[in-house]
């Protein structure tokens, strides 16, 4: 009788362990990288419309720039990878502003004072505003910083880059948008080391 109970207990423990290992395996197989889901659902779809107060006065309306490629960069002054990529964004903006591309920065989870100090520190001249109620962040599926969206002239999100954006990739994708093409290579790119995920 005792040996039968031991056998039943052993079978039960073995089944429980097998189920646990199966769950772990499924979790590891389906695991996406830390950057994987930020903005994922936006690529290939119409860019969500938004209106945003600018930090230096005025308002940015996305619809007012329809017909031109648009680069939307989500950032915050407290985000180290954002600080890493800001000089390249400004250099590229200055190089391509006269060619019909529009850059805009969306500052999130920040104070107006810190955001303005950041603009001054990096001498950012392209429009930058604050997502005060978080709606733009939610609409674009942003779950970490920085993230940059590339919108074609027809208003479709043609690509996204999650994490600090290398300047060469930024220039390549801006040129592709100006040529009316999807950014070269994958429509998505990421830099996991240069990414700050919200907890």
pLDDT at 14 exceeding the cut of 50: no
CB 45 within 8 A of CB 157: yes
CB 169 within 8 A of CB 189: yes
- What pLDDT, on a 0 to 100 scale, did the predictor assign at position 35? 43
CA distances to 5, 117, 132 from 156, rounded to whole Å, are 64, 32, 24
Give, as one character, the DSSP assignment of residue 153: T
CB 135 within 8 A of CB 168: no
Mean of pLDDT over the chain: 82
Give percent above pLDDT 70 in the chain. Answer: 73
Question: Helices 167-178 and 80-96 sit at what angle, rounded to 10 degrees?
Answer: 40
- What pLDDT, on a 0 to 100 scale, did the predictor assign at position 191? 63
- What pLDDT, on a 0 to 100 scale, did the predictor assign at position 181? 77
Instruction: Indicate the pTM of the whole model.
Output: 0.79
d(CA 193, CA 182): 25
Can you tell me the mean pLDDT for 26-43?
A: 51
- What pLDDT, on a 0 to 100 scale, did the predictor assign at position 43? 86
Six-digit token string for 59: 């308002």
Six-digit token string for 14: 């073995």
Higher pLDDT, 195 or 86: 86
- What pLDDT, on a 0 to 100 scale, did the predictor assign at position 26? 33
Least confident of 103-112, 156-165, 180-189: 180-189
- What pLDDT, on a 0 to 100 scale, did the predictor assign at position 131? 97
CB 173 within 8 A of CB 191: no
CA angle 78, 114, 173 (to 5 degrees): 60
- What pLDDT, on a 0 to 100 scale, did the predictor assign at position 128? 98
Can you tell me the mean pLDDT for 41-61?
A: 94
For residue 69, is the peptide bond before it cis, meaning its omega torsion is within 30 degrees of 0?
no
CB 160 within 8 A of CB 187: yes
- What pLDDT, on a 0 to 100 scale, did the predictor assign at position 198? 72
Can you tell me the mean pLDDT for 48-76?
A: 96
């Amino acid at each position: 009788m005792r040996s039968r109970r031991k056998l039943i207990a052993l079978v039960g423990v073995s089944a429980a362990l097998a189920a646990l290992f199966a769950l772990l395996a499924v979790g590891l197989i389906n695991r996406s990288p830390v950057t994987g889901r930020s903005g994922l659902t936006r690529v290939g779809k119409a860019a969500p419309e938004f209106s945003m107060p600018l930090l230096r006065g005025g308002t940015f309306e996305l619809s007012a720039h329809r017909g031109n490629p648009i680069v939307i960069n989500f950032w915050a002054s407290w985000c180290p990878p954002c600080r890493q990529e800001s000089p390249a964004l400004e250099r590229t903006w200055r190089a391509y502003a006269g060619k019909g591309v529009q850059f805009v920065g969306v500052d999130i989870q920040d104070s107006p004072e810190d955001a303005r100090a950041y603009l001054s520190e990096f001498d950012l001249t392209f429009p930058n505003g604050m997502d005060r109620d978080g709606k733009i962040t939610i609409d674009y599926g942003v779950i970490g910083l920085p993230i940059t969206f590339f919108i074609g002239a027809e208003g479709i999100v043609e690509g996204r880059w999650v994490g600090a954006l290398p300047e060469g990739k930024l220039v390549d994708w801006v040129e592709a948008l100006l040529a009316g093409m999807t950014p070269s290579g994958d429509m998505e790119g990421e830099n996991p080391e240069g990414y700050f995920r919200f907890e």
